[in-house]
Amino acid sequence: MSAPAPDARRTGAQIMCEALIREGVNIIFGIPGGAIMPFYHALPEYKDRLHHVLCRHEQGAGHAAEGYARSTGRVGVCVATSGPGATNLVTPIADAWMDSTPLVAITGQVSSLVLGRDAFQETDITGISVPITKHNYLVKRVEEIPAVMHEAFHLASTGRPGPVLVDITKDAQQAHTIPTWDAPLSLPGYKPTLEGHKRQVREAVAVMLSAERPLILAGNGVIQSGASAELREWAELLGVPVITTLHGLGGFPEEHPLSLGMPGMHGWVHVNRAIQECDVLFNIGGRFDDRVTGKASSFAPRARVIHVDIDPSEIGKNVAVAVPIVGDARRVLRALLDDLAHRPGPAVEARRAARATWLTHIRDMQDRFQGRHKELNRPETTSLMPHDVYAALNRAFIEHSARGEGYRVVSDVGQHQMWAAQLLDWRRPRTHITSGGAGTMGFAVPAALGVALAHPDETVWAIVGDGGFQMTNQEIATMVQEKVRNVKIAIVNNGYLGMVRQWQELFEGKRYSGTPLTGPDFAALAKAYGVRGVTVEQVGDVDPAIASAWAHDGVVLLDFRVEREVNVFPIVPQGQSIGQMLVAVGEHAEGDDT
Amino acid sequence: MTHTIVALVQDHPGVLHRVISLIRRRGYNIESLTVGHSETPGVSRMTLVVEAENVEQVTKQLNRLIEVLKVFDVTNDPTVERETVLVKVQAPASARAGLIALTESAGARVADVGSNTMVLEVTDLPEKVEAFIDLCRPLGIKEMIRSGRIAMTRGSGGGAGARATGTPGGAAGRAAPTGQPVDSSPRPYRAQADGDE
């Protein structure tokens, strides 16, 4: 089997494969079915350039493509058939939409001859996916395929990245034509603004220089645009402390003296206090999500806000902005740095010195809160605590990085995800991959598959709760089939849907409705899949288990049976100001009420 | 409050769905909607009348749609607004003369005469249309259809359709000499869009 000659007539399905290759795609995740069969028929002709990963559920294929995309910055591709295949992609598409992940989802559709007649496995997936895609296409003619595929990749990967769905009827896949590849993009309504406006840039620099208590809030945009080096230079030149949101983690190294950590609902007290006290808040590439702002009307009440975002509709959406800058995070930071370079050195120097006091004040708060409240650290108990798992993982990460070995972490959604964000040290961009905006349980295992295939030389840790694990664990079978060896799964197993249980404990009088959860023997399940599985119940066994998993050439599942009813602290009760933090059951951080 | 939004969109299948989806998502009701060709081939023009609390977010998100070329909130601008209504009323032969007189005095016209009914037509400002309908009610309205509103800003500039390829984002303001372009950014950014640099 080989691909047709360049000038030969070929099927729409062959054109789809060639379009993917032209866009630089070499791996796709999917499951075949009736309406996408012509595409799968063509695939073997391109197998040396286009590797297909057969997932066990389309949701898994979507999350795997997301993991691939988020860890590489390239467009992830997933494929499904019509009807249930397409609807199973809805969750990962919605997830990619909320987290601005570049994703192209290709779905087969019933033949155009029966479209709209409730044909077998017909679902209006373009209609369904309108509110969760950046754009979508219904392709009924083979001649449209090259241009649509090119547009889809262009839209998914430029401006604010996001998911694009391409639904191609079976007859269009089967029809023959000689493709025209060089048609220019026809997107008159799409021109993302990349460069920040000069006057606004100048204004932002002036505001930052005039600030006494400034803060930088770094979000997903910093990672997506590859702006870490520029961010670091900007923070260091100005001497401004940096906060990283859940999706900003890794965008600024946490061991840096200016790094403060994560804000928001499960952010640290000192970080949220700093936000409430700051006089200038410079948000680069974050969207002021409600998990960051808490009650938006009382968020950063003393701050003039500078907001840099590539999407104009994000600016002013949740938080009033004094200096809006529409543009790409890296390019805007470059422009800011250029402007700063033209300012008199002594002035910049003086401001930086003055800010040492502000940083000292924040560090004092940090010492006070993180040191005082034992629940922010490991409680005094001999049982296996979630904290033990994270402390051991962190030690392993430090040790292996020191040896120059790469690792990435994929977390799922819930308590274990917040502990990962809080308790692990994030140093490099694209090493922390999680489902943020959509909060999709079941994300981690399939996403880890995508990350592992994109980075075969690194070790990928999937940290997951026992609830989320049971939603998509069948993708372990995909790992086995694909001979993936570099995924290590750490289940933080507390026998509950833990985050919901925590809310029930704190806010609903301990009515544990629908949250106690049983599961199989996960280690035995791993063995059934053909990978190593280990149950860990004692504190002393954690480090050796992690070391052994890392050293093992193959997928390993570690089932950490942790203390069941442990809460993630601090927590801002929903709808309250981020100045209102619980640091233990019934206990507010002292001096709360900013 | 009630907003009048004008949107220029690519004449593609599904574009109406995309626009409506954004408004529906917030639970806003659309009071009226008209879509038709603009002066540019391939570009349709929508006039939406929406009862909305936060219309700025809606217009910004409309701008984000790939097939939307430009969006204007013309609520507070001087505009020419028109609406057409067709009203079928009872019209026995004995009443026709009176009806015709009424129709003429109201600036309407008779569109059809049947054996027992007449179809009256008026194209005017929405409030005038409203008044005409009130006038017809005592006559016994058998059927009625209102077209929905269309709007165009006054003045010599090219109006909302001056340049159909305006960009969502920084340059949106430059393209439209009349009408208040819905800049896809908040107030302080307006100056930037005007290109004062």
> Nearest CA to CA, how far is A55 from chain B (Å)?
31
Report the chain B residue with the minimal C-alpha distance to residue A191.
Answer: B167
B27 and B54 part of one domain:
yes
> Nearest CA to CA, how far is A251 from chain B (Å)?
26
Using the beta-carbon criterion (under 8 Å), do A313 and B184 form an inter-chain contact?
A: yes
What is the number of domains present in chain B?
2
**Best residue in A193, A304, A323 to probe B by mutation, most B CBs within 10 Å?**
A193
Q: In the predicted model, is pLDDT for residue B194 greater than 50?
A: no
Using the beta-carbon criterion (under 8 Å), do B186 and A321 form an inter-chain contact?
A: yes
Average confidence (pLDDT) over B30-39: 95
Interface of A with B in 111-150 (CB under 8 A): 126-127, 130-131, 134-135, 138
**Best residue in B53, B65, B66 to probe A by mutation, most A CBs within 10 Å?**
B66
B71 and B58 part of one domain:
yes
Average confidence (pLDDT) over B31-51: 96
pLDDT for residue B164 = 33
What is the CATH classification number for the domain harbouring B39?
3.30.70.260
Contact assessment for residue A259 and residue A228, using Cβ atoms and an 8 Å cutoff: no
Interface of B with A (CB under 8 A): 9-10, 13-14, 17-18, 21-22, 25, 56-57, 60-61, 63-69, 164-165, 167-171, 184-186, 188-189, 191-192, 196-197
Q: In the predicted model, is pLDDT for residue B71 greater than 50?
A: yes
Report the chain B residue with the minimal C-alpha distance to residue A322.
Answer: B188
> Nearest CA to CA, how far is B18 from chain A (Å)?
6
pLDDT tens per residue across span A114-154: 999 999 999 999 999 999 999 999 999 999 999 999 999 99
Helix-helix angle A444-454:A58-72, to 10 degrees: 50
**DSSP states along A291-360:** HHHBSGGGSSTTPEEEEEES-GGGTTTSS--SEEEES-HHHHHHHHHHHHHTS-HHHHHHHHHHHHHHHH
B140 and B159 part of one domain:
no
B59 and B86 part of one domain:
no
Output A420 or B191, whichever has higher pLDDT.
A420
Which amino acid does the sequence have at A570?
P
- Cα A491 from Cα A410, distance rounded (Å): 12
What is the CATH classification number for the domain harbouring B114?
3.30.70.1150
Q: In the predicted model, is pLDDT for residue B188 greater than 70?
A: no
Using the beta-carbon criterion (under 8 Å), do A312 and B18 form an inter-chain contact?
A: no
- Single residue among B146, B169, B185 that ends a domain in this structure: B146
Using the beta-carbon criterion (under 8 Å), do A324 and B65 form an inter-chain contact?
A: no
| Sign of the alpha-carbon torsion through A582, A584, A585, A586 | negative
A·B CB contacts under 8 A: 87
* Residue B24 φ/ψ, nearest 5 degrees: -60, -35
Using the beta-carbon criterion (under 8 Å), do A191 and B169 form an inter-chain contact?
A: yes
B121 and B98 part of one domain:
yes
B139 and B179 part of one domain:
no
B61 and B128 part of one domain:
no
Say if A311 is an interface residue toward chain B (CB within 8 Å): yes
Q: Which residues of A touch B197 (CB under 8 A)?
A: 197-199
Task: Verify whether residue A482 is a known catalytic residue.
Answer: no
**Which of B17, B67, B170 has the CB atom closest to A189's CB atom?**
B67
Q: Which residues of A touch B66 (CB under 8 A)?
A: 134-135, 155, 187, 189-190
Q: Which residues of A touch B54 (CB under 8 A)?
A: none
Task: Verify whether residue A121 is a known catalytic residue.
Answer: yes
Could you give all domains of chain A from N- to C-terminal order, each with its CATH number?
10-177 (3.40.50.970), 198-372 (3.40.50.1220), 375-561 (3.40.50.970)
Candidates A29, A170, A471, A569; catalytic one: A170
Task: Verify whether residue A502 is a known catalytic residue.
Answer: no
Q: In the predicted model, is pLDDT for residue B186 greater than 90?
A: no
- Cα A518 from Cα A508, distance rounded (Å): 22
B45 and B24 part of one domain:
yes
Which span out of A160-174, B14-28, B41-55 was modeled with the highest average pLDDT? A160-174
Using the beta-carbon criterion (under 8 Å), do B21 and A199 form an inter-chain contact?
A: no
Q: Which long-range contacts (CB under 8 A, 24 or more apart) does A48-53 make?
A: A49/A21, A50/A17, A50/A20, A50/A21, A50/A25, A50/A26, A51/A26, A51/A27, A52/A27, A52/A28, A52/A79, A53/A27, A53/A28, A53/A29, A53/A449, A53/A453, A53/A478, A53/A482
Contact assessment for residue A112 and residue A167, using Cβ atoms and an 8 Å cutoff: no
Using the beta-carbon criterion (under 8 Å), do A188 and B64 form an inter-chain contact?
A: no
Q: Which residues of B touch A155 (CB under 8 A)?
A: 66
B48 and B97 part of one domain:
no
Give the closest residue to A351 by CA, choosing from A207, A233, A505: A207
pLDDT for residue A381 = 80
**Which of B17, B66, B188 has the CB atom closest to A324's CB atom?**
B188
- Single residue among B146, B170, B185 that ends a domain in this structure: B146
pLDDT for residue A370 = 80
Helix (H) or strand (E) holding A416: helix A415-423
Q: Which two tokens stand for residue B150?
A: 């269309």
Q: Which residues of B touch A130 (CB under 8 A)?
A: 14, 17-18, 21
Report the chain A residue with the minimal C-alpha distance to residue B185.
Answer: A312
Q: Which residues of B touch A316 (CB under 8 A)?
A: 56, 185-186
CA A560 to chain CA mean position, Å: 24
**Which of A199, A311, A324 has the CB atom closest to B64's CB atom?**
A311
B67 and B103 part of one domain:
no
Task: Verify whether residue A120 is a known catalytic residue.
Answer: yes
Task: Verify whether residue A14 is a known catalytic residue.
Answer: no
Q: In the predicted model, is pLDDT for residue B173 greater than 90?
A: no
- Cα A121 from Cα A114, distance rounded (Å): 11
Q: Which residues of A touch B190 (CB under 8 A)?
A: none
Listed as ranges, residues in chain A with pLDDT below 50 are 374, 594
pLDDT for residue A593 = 59
Candidates A18, A23, A58, A277; catalytic one: A58
pLDDT tens per residue across span A466-506: 999 999 999 999 999 999 999 999 999 999 999 999 999 99
Q: Which domain holds residue B87?
A: 80-146
B74 and B158 part of one domain:
yes
B2: buried, middle or exposed (CB in 10 Å: 19+, 13-18, 0-12)?
Answer: exposed
B90 and B139 part of one domain:
yes
Using the beta-carbon criterion (under 8 Å), do B64 and A192 form an inter-chain contact?
A: no
Average confidence (pLDDT) over B15-37: 94
